[in-house]
Amino acid sequence: MILEQIISQKRHDLKTIKERRPLDSLLSSLKGMPPCRSLKAALRKQGRVSILAEIKKASPSKGMIRPDFNLEEITDDFTLSGVSAISVITEEKFFYGKPDYLQAVRSRTELPVLRKDFIIDPYQIYETRVLGGDALLLIVAVLNKYELVFFQKLASELNLECLVEVHNKEELQMALDSGASLIGINNRDLKTFEIDLNVTFNLRRYITDQSTVVVSESGISSRPQVDELYRNKIDAVLVGEVLMRSENIKAKVKELTGVY
């Protein structure tokens, strides 16, 4: 399965990364880092769904998504279009991202920046802070209960927020039990890569704490979908592919939000 391949590759890559830059060296770079911006606060807007716009060059299921990839231009377009925050994919082998993208985006925008990767080691959490990330993605499907709790605690100590991603009721319960207050419901099955927007609608009703910010992820490409998600009490949507394929990113964002 592709998810297992990604995690296996990630474990292999981390060994090399740690040898190249040991944890002690990483920790020494934490001093003097600027304050983090709150992703949760940015995504909670009254009256409309917030857009978490994703910088995504490629994916295992779709291949190359944006051949004419210009990180600076995309970041500027997102910032000027009125999105609430930016998600940056940093996984290299399968999504063609780079950890350095996080730093580059952070330097060009005042918006909160989310690191989207397969976080399986505390090292990556420290790395996220050093690279200037404001938040990171934790995927319940690749973590055990202890890791989920510990990673959130460590992130909090570094003033990072965590978007905790789930795909089914069991994963959602695990996220809620861990104390997650920023939850992403992924409509894409990471094992089959099939997409079903009903996943969000089915799971949303089990989130009863009104302080929890809920993000719908994957398969969102039109204003009617965004409106339906808003009616179902979704705070934000993560949108990547449709923006990356758009010739006019700013116009597409305005189409999705209805704000011109």
Contact 218/188 with Cβ under 8 angstroms?
yes
Q: Which residues sit opposite 215 in a β-bridge?
A: 184, 236
Q: Which helix (H) or strand (E) holds 216?
A: strand 213-217
Q: Left, alpha or beta for 96 (phi > 0: left; psi -120 to 50: alpha)?
A: left
Q: Which helix (H) or strand (E) holds 244?
A: helix 241-244
Catalytic residues: 54, 56, 116, 165, 186, 217-218
Helices 249-257 and 71-81 meet at what angle, rounded to 10? Answer: 30
* Cα dihedral across residues 70, 88, 96, 12: positive or negative: positive
